[in-house]
Amino acid sequence: MFRIEPISSFDSPELRPYATMRRPAEHETQGIFVAEGTKVVRRLLESHFAVVSVVLPEKWLDDFRPLLEARPEQITVYLAEKQFLETLVGFSMFQGVLAVGKIPPPVSLDDILSNNRKPLLLVAVDALTNAENLGALVRNCVAFDVQALIVGETSSSPFLRRAVRNSMGTIFQLSVIELAKLGLRHRFKTKPHATKLILAECLQELRARGVRCIAAHPHTDNKFLSQADFTSDCCIVFGGEGDGISKPVLEACDDAVAIPMPPAVDSLNVGAAAAVFLYEAARQRRKT
């Protein structure tokens, strides 16, 4: 269901999310995100995520009509030419197709552990603040059948506009646990009084429940990727662009594993490292 509203001015409060695309913190507190581009908006409309509104130039309306008609909720479709829209958002766009969706309620670790097939393949990120890299990592997670992404309290949200865009909309297919957002009722049963859940604790909890936590860490000669075993329940942990995985998170893992590199190279981009690790995990799982 949808209703069409041509944009004649930018005064409407409903258009505010589009006008504040450069202030993502505002979106997060409202529990919304912005999807950008025809492919990503299409994937959002095909998903189970709630959609609030869509903005597009009239020439795209017929393309999107079947998807809009199939939606269960009432969506407002704002019609605006690309140039007009660019004055609202404050930067130039490729296609001028945008949408606002609602960030789903947090999933609990208990749900992830009990509602997925075994062996589990989870990914966690620590201090990963670059939204583009996070989006690329999300895309790899979905490509290699990861069942859930655990976002540490020092990482960016995967629902930032640039993360959603770089994930190519695959974020709509992945279960996400954002530790910074977990409410009291979602905390672990073993720590009902904890007021703040941090990634290191979460990994310890996973280990207590039989999930091996493997740090993807370039600075170890202990174990290389070809020697690692991903065939049982496991969670692969990736670090951020600056300092990589923090000491407490590294210490909370069972193992640290490196992709071997020549001495002159410090590390790979985290998206590239995730693709290599997850390919290896998927390859081993196909064999067993």
Which lies closer to ligand SAM via its Cβ, residue 77 or residue 131?
131
The three-state DSSP-derived secondary structure of 136-167 is HHHHHHHHCCCCEEEECCCCCCCCCHHHHHHC
Which lies closer to ligand SAM via its Cβ, residue 97 or residue 253?
253
Find how far residue 40's CA is from the centre of its chain: 13
Bridge partners for 257 per DSSP: 216
Q: Does position 122 bind ligand SAM by CB under 6 A?
A: no
Which lies closer to ligand SAM via its Cβ, residue 28 or residue 280?
280
Residues in 13-72 that interact with ligand SAM by CB under 6 A: none
Residues in 209-248 that interact with ligand SAM by CB under 6 A: 216-219, 238-239, 241, 243-245
CB of 241 to ligand SAM, least distance (A): 5
Residue 244: which of 266, 226, 263 has the closest Cα? 266
CB of 74 to ligand SAM, least distance (A): 43
Buried b (16+ CB within 10 A) or exposed e, 221-243: eeeebeebebeebbbbbbbbeee
Are the C-beta atoms of 127 and 151 separated by less than 8 Å?
Answer: no
Bridge partners for 55 per DSSP: 78, 98
Q: Does position 268 bind ligand SAM by CB under 6 A?
A: yes
Q: What is the DSSP letter of 266?
A: -
Q: Does position 251 bind ligand SAM by CB under 6 A?
A: no
Tokens, residue 212: 């091996």
Tokens, residue 153: 């309290």
CB of 177 to ligand SAM, least distance (A): 18
Which lies closer to ligand SAM via its Cβ, residue 55 or residue 249?
249
CB of 254 to ligand SAM, least distance (A): 15
Find how far residue 247's CA is from the centre of its chain: 24
Residue 263, C-beta contacts closer than 8 angstroms, at least 6 positions apart: none
CB of 207 to ligand SAM, least distance (A): 18
Which lies closer to ligand SAM via its Cβ, residue 201 or residue 280?
280
Which lies closer to ligand SAM via its Cβ, residue 135 or residue 239?
239
Give me the residue label for tokens 């020092």. Answer: 154
Q: Does position 258 bind ligand SAM by CB under 6 A?
A: yes
Q: Does position 253 bind ligand SAM by CB under 6 A?
A: no
Judged by the rule CB under 6 A, the positions of this chain that interact with ligand SAM are 216-219, 238-239, 241, 243-245, 258-259, 261, 266-270, 273
